[in-house]
Amino acid sequence: MKPNVLIAGLLAGAALMGQTLAARADAANLVVVELFTSQGCSSCPPADALLNKLAQRSDVLPLALHVDYWDYIGWADSFARPEHTTRQKAYAHVAGSRTIYTPQMVIGGDDQIVGARPMDVADAVMKHLHEGPGVAITLEPLDGGMRVVATPTQARLGSMLVQLVRFVPIQTVSIERGENAGKTVTYSNVVTNWEVVGEWGGGAPLDLEIPVPGDDAAAVVLQKVGNGRIVAASRLR
């Protein structure tokens, strides 16, 4: 298939996905979509464009995690972090796979999809929206930080990691070498840091204050231990 035809089809699918999800725009569950991507990956720009579409939604938290294992082919990704590669490998281990690839999207922590398949992504997002969150979560801005309040809405959730995610909402890069040489690509919600700030048993309500230094956007992701299902997520507004 010719590249321009492929991209047109992907963006048309993304538009249809936006229409499909419109009825769920008021959903309480913020569905996390992790895109493992690279500036040096020739098949990634359509998935990056799809993530840009998702970033326009209010019920989805799309996050771009740039990996470093394509840097050797002529262009070092300026956003790549080895910990993103480690996170992707952990998801592969959970799925029983020995290989990782780009572009890949992980929806809600447990649906692993080729990143350039918009209708598959739409189906997975809809599934998580209909399931609803296992936890009601709110974030309250504080001076230099935030307060995280979470209450379980389902029984026997088990232990969860409380994770603080920092990201830059929009970045545009002119790629000079490698497989995407000559392209200018816009990336949404580029992750700059993903750290565990606590662990929660999921029984009694959680009330936690955490520092949030700097200017990058911030979100909190509650995820079952061992790169399991993402139970809830919220973005600091």
Beta strand spans in 120-182 (E): 135-142, 145-152, 160-174
Neighbours of 11 (CB within 10 A): 16
Task: Look at the block and give the residue holding tokens 């089809």.
Answer: 9
Cβ atoms of 64 and 84 closer than 8 Å: no
- Cα(237)–Cα(232) distance, rounded to whole angstroms? 16
- Cα(66)–Cα(190) distance, rounded to whole angstroms? 8
Coil vs helix vs strand at 86: helix
Neighbouring residues of 32: CB distance < 8 A, sequence distance ≥ 6? 60, 61, 63, 107, 108, 109, 221, 230, 233
Task: Look at the block and give the residue holding tokens 């959970």.
Answer: 94
- Cα(165)–Cα(180) distance, rounded to whole angstroms? 28
Report which DSSP code applies to 59: S
Kindly give the confidence (pLDDT) of every residue in the chain, 237 residues in length, as a single tens digit, with 9 standing for 90 and above.
Answer: 333 433 444 444 445 455 444 433 333 468 999 999 999 999 999 999 999 999 999 999 999 999 999 999 999 999 999 999 999 999 999 999 999 999 999 999 999 999 889 999 999 999 999 988 889 999 999 999 999 999 998 888 899 999 999 999 999 999 999 999 999 999 999 999 999 999 999 989 999 999 999 999 999 999 999 999 999 999 997
Parallel, antiparallel or unpaired: strands 230-235 and 184-200? unpaired
Closest to 70 measured CA to CA, from 31, 111, 36: 36
Cβ atoms of 169 and 131 closer than 8 Å: no
- Cα(187)–Cα(176) distance, rounded to whole angstroms? 16
Task: Look at the block and give the residue holding tokens 């299902």.
Answer: 229
- Cα(43)–Cα(31) distance, rounded to whole angstroms? 24
Parallel, antiparallel or unpaired: strands 104-107 and 31-37? antiparallel
- Cα(235)–Cα(215) distance, rounded to whole angstroms? 14
pLDDT of residue 223: 97
- Cα(47)–Cα(151) distance, rounded to whole angstroms? 34
Neighbours of 27 (CB within 10 A): 17
pLDDT of residue 46: 96
